[in-house]
Amino acid sequence: MASEAEGVVDVASHSTMSAIGAYFCDRHPELVDDVLADADAIEGDGLRRWASTEGVAVQDAFETLVTGLAIRFYTALAGESFGADGLPAASAGGAGGD
C-alpha cells in the first residue's frame, strides 16, 4: 500500500508531466509530430542505440523521450489530437488558448 508521501510524489509527477507537455504543445506545435516520432523510435531502439544512430548525446535522447511522453500524457488528459501541421485538431488556439 502506498504511503501518503508516495501519493504526493505521484501527483507532483503527473502535474509536472502534464505541464511539460502543455508547455511544449503550446510553444512548439510545429515540432509535436517530430518529437512524438523520435520518442517512438527511441522506445523501439533504446536510448543509446538511437542516440548513436542520430549522432546526439544520450542525455539529449533521454530529454526527447521524456518530452514525447509528456506530450502524450498531456494530450491524453486534454483529449486533444494533433493534425499533420502539429496544431491541435480540436482547437486552433493551442494548449494555452491564447
Going residue by residue through the chain, which has 98 residues, state the pLDDT in tens, using 9 for 90 and above.
556 555 544 555 778 888 999 999 999 999 999 999 999 999 999 999 999 999 999 999 999 999 999 999 998 888 766 655 555 554 444 444 44
pLDDT score of 16: 87
CB 17 within 8 A of CB 53: no
Cα–Cα distance measured from residue 71 to residue 95, given in angstroms and rounded to the nearest whole number: 11
Rounded distance between C-alpha atoms, residue 90 and residue 80, angstroms: 6
Q: What is the reported pLDDT for 23?
A: 93
CA distance 23 to 73: 12
Determine the pLDDT at residue 67. 96
Residue 30: DSSP 8-state: G
Question: Which residue type, as a one-letter code, is found at position 24?
Answer: F
